Structure 1
Amino acid sequence: MAKLTGAVPVLAARDVSGTVDFWTSRLGFVQDFAEDDFAGVVRDDVTLYISRVEEQVVPDNTQAWVSVRGLDEVYAEWAAAVSTDFSDTSGPAMTGIGERPWGREFALRDPAGNCVHFVAED
């Protein structure tokens, strides 16, 4: 029987290298590859692709969801490197951890404007 085994979110960015730098230097991802206007970063079992776009409206409307074991630990690690004032739209920021209909999560806005939700798997 056929089975889908994974997915790779594609984040949009006007500045691919700057966005890769944020995910690698501040959030502990490792650059997997970079080619022209497209790159990949990896942490544990999660891969994110970052693709260059011309219009800021694209990353401002891009979202992704990532399942996480140890949500509180990841949040604490990243809160030391990223603002937790999500209402301040001048740069990267995270929401607090909250209960949603789909589970406990926090959202992170990267410097490109993408909103990535990290949802507790445990």
Structure 2
Amino acid sequence: MPLAAPIPILRIFDEAKARAFYLDFLGFREDWAHRFEPSLPLYLQVSKGGCVLHLSEHHGDCCPGAALRIATEGLEHFQAELLAKQYGNARPGVETKPWGREMSITDPFGNRLVFTSE
């Protein structure tokens, strides 16, 4: 039985901050959004290349503070793009680790995204 790549669900608390971070800063695109009613929590799918994430304001879906490792080609180029945006809450750096290079960024809700390159 072949399995597909998992789609992580990350907890968010503020739609505007989530959109500013994931769409404007990281460059993900919004694939779709769902609410049962206008005043109820948002459930949003964003993607960039082959990376798909679900962002949820629903308290029962997941806990804040998750950590993801995302394999990335052109890590230094991605870092330069992010630094050029002068986002007020993150100035990511690339570090060399024994297992490869990585750039760690924490979203406004405490979720850590670690972009990796071998």
Given that 1:10 and 1:48 are in contact with CA atoms closer than 8 Å, whether structure 2 keeps it comes out as: yes
| Contiguous gaps of at least 5 residues in structure 1 | 84-90
**What TM-score do you get using the length of structure 2 for normalisation?**
0.78
Label 1:71 to 1:16 Cα distance change in 2 as closer, same or farther (>3 A).
Answer: same
Name the residue aligned to 2:4: 5
Give the alignment's Cα RMSD to 1 decimal. 2.0
The answer to whether the 8 Å contact 1:92/1:108 transfers is no
Aligned-pair identity in percent equals: 30
Corresponding residue to 1:96 among 93, 97, 105: 93
Question: Matched residue pairs, number?
Answer: 109
Shift of 1:53: 4.6
Deviation at 1:70, TM superposition (A): 0.6
1:117 correspondence with 2:76: no
Task: Return closer, same or farther for 1:40/1:82 CA change in 2, 3 Å cut-off.
Answer: farther
Displaced runs of 4 or more, over 6 A = none
The separation in 2 between residues aligned to 1:15 and 1:26, in whole angstroms, is 15
Structure 1 residues 64 and 111 mapped into 2: Cα distance closer, same or farther (>3 Å)? Answer: same
Question: 2-side partners of 1:63 and 1:16: how far apart?
Answer: 20
Q: Is the 8 A contact 2:94 2:101 kept in 1?
A: yes
Kept in 2, the 8 Å contact 1:27–1:81? The answer is: no
Shift of 1:5: 3.0
Partner residue, 1:76: 80
Name stretches of at least 5 consecutive residues in structure 2 with no aligned partner. 36-41
Residue in structure 1 matching 2:45, options 31, 40, 47: 40
Cα offset, 1:94, TM superposition: 4.3
| 2:20 aligned counterpart, secondary structure | helix
Q: Which whole-Å CA distance do the structure 1 matches of 2:7 and 2:86 have between them?
A: 23
Write the deviation string for residues 30-63 of structure 1: whole angstroms up to 9, x where unpaired: 1011112210111111111101155xxx32x211
Deviations 1:80-112 (A, max 9, x none): 2255xxxxxxx7324421122432101011222
What is the letter of the counterpart of residue 33 of structure 1?
A: W
C-alpha distance 113-53 of structure 1, shift in aligned 2 (>3 A): farther
